[in-house]
Chain A
Amino acid sequence: MLAETMGTKAVRAPSWKRLGSMREAGLVAIILALCIAMSFASPHFLTLGNFRAMLMSFSVEGIVVVGMTILLIVGGIDLAVGSVVCFAMVLSGSLFLAGLDPWSASLIGILASALIGAVMGFFVTVVGLNHFITSLAGMVIVRGLCLIITKGTPLSLFTLPPAFKAVGQGSFHGLPYVIIIFVAVVVLFDFLLRRATALRKVFYTGSNEKAALYSGIRTNYVKFWVTVLCSTLAGFAGVIYMSRFGAATPTFGVGMELNIIAAAVIGGASLNGGSGTILGAILGIALLSVVTSSLVLLNVSVYWQDMIKGCILLGAVSIDHFLHKRKAS
Chain B
Amino acid sequence: MRTFLSTTAMAVLVMAYSAAPAKAAEESPFRCEPGEKYVMNVMVSGVEYWFPVYEMFKQAGKQLGCETAYTGTPEYDVNKQIASFDQALAQNPAGILVHPMNSDPFIEPINRAIGQGTAVVTFAADSPLSKRISFITSDNIREGTYAADAIATKLGGKGEYAVLENPGQDNHDKRVTAFIDRMKAKWPDMKLVGRTASNQDPTKAYQGLMSIVQANPNLAAVFMPEANSAIGAAQANKESGGKILVMCADVNANILDMIKAGEVFGSINPNQGMQGYMGFMLLWLAKHPELIDPMNDAKRAGFNPMSIPFVDNGLSIVTAENADDFFWDKYLKRRGTKGIEE
Contacts and interface: CB of A to CB of B under 8 A. Distances in A.
Given A156-B254, A157-B254, A293-B207, 16 more contacts: A54-B207, A56-B206, A143-B74, A147-B74, A153-B252, A153-B329, A156-B253, A244-B235, A245-B231, A249-B252, A251-B200, A251-B228, A292-B211, A296-B215, A302-B167, A302-B197
Contact of A49 (B47, B167, B214, B252): B214
> Most B CB atoms within 10 A — which of A56, A156, A244?
A156
Q: Size band of the A side of the interface?
A: 35 or more
A297 B211 contact: yes
> Most A CB atoms within 10 A — which of B215, B228, B256?
B215
Interface of A: 42, 44-45, 47, 49-50, 53-54, 56-57, 60-61, 143-144, 147, 151-158, 169, 241, 244-247, 249-252, 254-255, 289, 292-293, 295-297, 299, 301-303, 305-306
Given A245-B232, A305-B196, A152 B203 contact: no
Contacts of B252: 153-154, 156, 249
Contacts, number: 122
A158 B197 contact: no
Contact of A169 (B51, B196, B238): B238
B299 to A, nearest CB: 44
A53 B211 contact: yes
> Chain B interface secondary structure, helix, strand, loop or mixed?
helix
Contact of B207 (A44, A152, A289, A301): A289
A143 B45 CA distance: 13
Contacts of A254: 76, 201
Contacts of B210: 50, 53-54, 56-57
A325 to B, nearest CB: 33
B195 A57 contact: no
What are the 8 closest A-B residue pairs judged by CB atoms, nearest first?
A53-B210, A57-B207, A147-B46, A152-B46, A296-B211, A44-B215, A156-B254, A156-B253
Nearest to B202: A245
A158 B257 contact: yes
B187 interface: no
A45 B215 CA distance: 8
Interface of B: 44-48, 51, 74, 76, 165, 167, 194-197, 200-204, 206-208, 210-215, 227-228, 231-232, 235-236, 238-240, 252-258, 261, 328-329, 339
Contacts of A292: 204, 207-208, 211
Contacts of B240: 49
B231 A152 contact: no
B83 to A, nearest CB: 15
A154 B253 contact: yes
> Most B CB atoms within 10 A — which of A45, A158, A247, A301?
A247
Nearest to B261: A158
B196 A42 contact: no
Contacts of A61: 203
A158 B253 CA distance: 10
Contact of A53 (B48, B167, B201, B214): B214
11 contacts: A53-B214, A154-B253, A158-B254, A158-B257, A158-B258, A241-B203, A245-B202, A247-B202, A247-B231, A254-B201, A302-B196
Contacts of A250: 46-47
Contact of A251 (B47, B197, B213): B47
A57 B203 contact: yes
Nearest to B165: A302
Contacts of B76: 254
A313 to B, nearest CB: 16
B235 A169 contact: yes
A250 B167 CA distance: 22
A249 B213 CA distance: 25
B214 A302 contact: no
A143 B76 CA distance: 12
A155 B203 contact: no
A156 B230 CA distance: 13
B140 to A, nearest CB: 17
A295 B45 CA distance: 34
A152 B51 contact: yes
Given A42-B215, A50-B211, A249-B228, A152 B48 contact: yes
A248 to B, nearest CB: 8
A296 B328 CA distance: 35
Contacts of A301: 195
Contacts of B339: 151
Nearest to A57: B207
B194 A299 contact: yes
A135 to B, nearest CB: 17
A90 to B, nearest CB: 12
Contacts of A306: 197
